[in-house]
Amino acid sequence: MEQIETVMCCFCGKSLTHKDSVEIEISIANSEESQCIFSHKKCLKKVLDKNVPIGIDIDDEN
Protein backbone atom coordinates (compact mmCIF):
# COMPACT_ATOMS: atom_id res chain seq x y z
CA MET A 1 0.00 0.00 0.00
CA GLU A 2 1.40 3.38 -1.03
CA GLN A 3 1.75 5.99 1.72
CA ILE A 4 0.33 9.43 0.89
CA GLU A 5 2.68 12.27 1.84
CA THR A 6 0.95 15.07 3.72
CA VAL A 7 2.09 18.61 4.44
CA MET A 8 0.71 21.47 6.55
CA CYS A 9 -0.78 24.64 5.11
CA CYS A 10 1.24 27.61 6.37
CA PHE A 11 -1.87 29.81 6.42
CA CYS A 12 -4.59 27.69 8.06
CA GLY A 13 -2.51 24.99 9.77
CA LYS A 14 -4.55 22.12 8.32
CA SER A 15 -2.98 19.18 6.55
CA LEU A 16 -3.29 18.39 2.86
CA THR A 17 -1.66 16.01 0.44
CA HIS A 18 1.61 17.16 -1.06
CA LYS A 19 0.27 16.58 -4.58
CA ASP A 20 -2.63 19.00 -3.93
CA SER A 21 -0.51 21.72 -2.33
CA VAL A 22 1.07 24.91 -3.59
CA GLU A 23 4.78 24.81 -2.75
CA ILE A 24 6.17 28.23 -1.86
CA GLU A 25 9.92 28.75 -1.75
CA ILE A 26 11.14 31.54 0.50
CA SER A 27 14.69 32.80 0.10
CA ILE A 28 16.68 35.63 1.58
CA ALA A 29 18.35 38.06 -0.81
CA ASN A 30 22.14 37.73 -0.90
CA SER A 31 21.95 34.42 0.96
CA GLU A 32 21.91 30.78 0.01
CA GLU A 33 19.30 30.05 2.67
CA SER A 34 15.85 29.03 1.54
CA GLN A 35 12.84 27.17 2.87
CA CYS A 36 9.82 25.56 1.24
CA ILE A 37 6.40 25.98 2.80
CA PHE A 38 3.05 24.68 1.57
CA SER A 39 -0.52 25.91 1.32
CA HIS A 40 -3.94 25.13 -0.01
CA LYS A 41 -4.64 26.92 -3.29
CA LYS A 42 -7.67 28.62 -1.75
CA CYS A 43 -5.64 29.85 1.25
CA LEU A 44 -2.94 31.36 -0.95
CA LYS A 45 -5.55 33.06 -3.11
CA LYS A 46 -7.24 34.44 0.02
CA VAL A 47 -4.08 36.08 1.41
CA LEU A 48 -2.67 37.51 -1.82
CA ASP A 49 -3.72 41.03 -2.71
CA LYS A 50 -6.04 41.02 -5.72
CA ASN A 51 -3.54 43.22 -7.59
CA VAL A 52 -0.77 40.62 -7.38
CA PRO A 53 -0.51 38.92 -10.78
CA ILE A 54 -0.71 35.14 -10.55
CA GLY A 55 0.78 33.16 -13.41
CA ILE A 56 -0.40 29.74 -12.23
CA ASP A 57 -3.84 28.16 -11.90
CA ILE A 58 -4.90 28.41 -8.25
CA ASP A 59 -8.64 28.49 -8.87
CA ASP A 60 -8.90 24.79 -7.98
CA GLU A 61 -10.90 23.71 -4.92
CA ASN A 62 -7.86 22.18 -3.13
| Domain range for 43 | 6-47
Tell me whether residue 31 is in a domain.
yes
Does this model's pTM top 0.85? My answer is no
Tell me whether residue 56 is in a domain.
no
User: What is the rounded distance in angstroms from the CA atom of residue 38 to the CA atom of residue 58?
Assistant: 13
**What per-residue confidence (pLDDT) applies to 54?**
86
Question: Which among 35, 39, 45, 51 is positioned nearest to 11, based on CA atoms?
Answer: 39
Q: Which residues of the chain have pLDDT under 70?
A: 1-2, 60-62
CB 37 within 8 A of CB 24: yes
Number of domains observed in the structure of the chain: 1
**What per-residue confidence (pLDDT) applies to 1?**
62
User: What is the rounded distance in angstroms from the CA atom of residue 25 to the CA atom of residue 29?
Assistant: 13
Distances (CA, A) of 5 to 33, 52, 53, 57, 60: 24, 30, 30, 22, 20
